[in-house]
Structure 1
Amino acid sequence: MQFCDHCGSMMVSRDGEMVCTADDCDGTSEKDTDLAAQFTSTESQTDSEVIETSEEANFEGKPTATDVTCDECGHGVAWYTIKQTASADEPPTRFFKCKECGYRWREYN
């Protein structure tokens, strides 16, 4: 991540240079290719690296929790994913899908 030397706002890559995202700033700089090589762009992430919590999400093959009980069928095993839905100093949210009936729920720690 690169920040504007003029105003401190985050910069984005456009046409081979870094451009300030602030509306009232026209700051630009050369793209630091050494710095860019150290980071993974979200454009190049694979689907398996992204945590999916939508209704269409495929939970099968995700980690399994045995310390839960499905409110719909009472089954005690569910697939889950974890996502940070609040600020970093708050615990993450766990999203579950029952392995028996497919019911989905979330748990705030």
Structure 2
Amino acid sequence: MEFCPKCKSIMIYQGEKVVCRKCGFEKKAENEEEMVIKVERNKEEVPIIEGENLKTLPTTRAICPACGHNEAFWWLRQLRAADESEVRFFRCTKCGKTWREYD
């Protein structure tokens, strides 16, 4: 995690650069291993977990919207303010489609 040198806010990774959401300061990403891969969907960033980390996630019964399979990996992620609930993400164990649970 990196902090903005100008305003001290948390910076986010966008491709190969790090950007401050608050003031817009940008710089080249230094450590690619710390980068979180994101997929843009409906103009919102959705965090994606890939690689070996996926095999360690718990599974649950959930119907995949893409293939109809009934098992998926799941994880929680705090996307907004700390006083708001976490968002649960799912990834189909068969086709790999990722989606989130809306309340």
Instruction: Give the TM-score band, short-chain normalised.
Output: 0.3 to 0.5
- Higher-Rg structure is 1
Provide the TM-score with structure 1 as the length reference: 0.45
| Higher relative strand content | 2
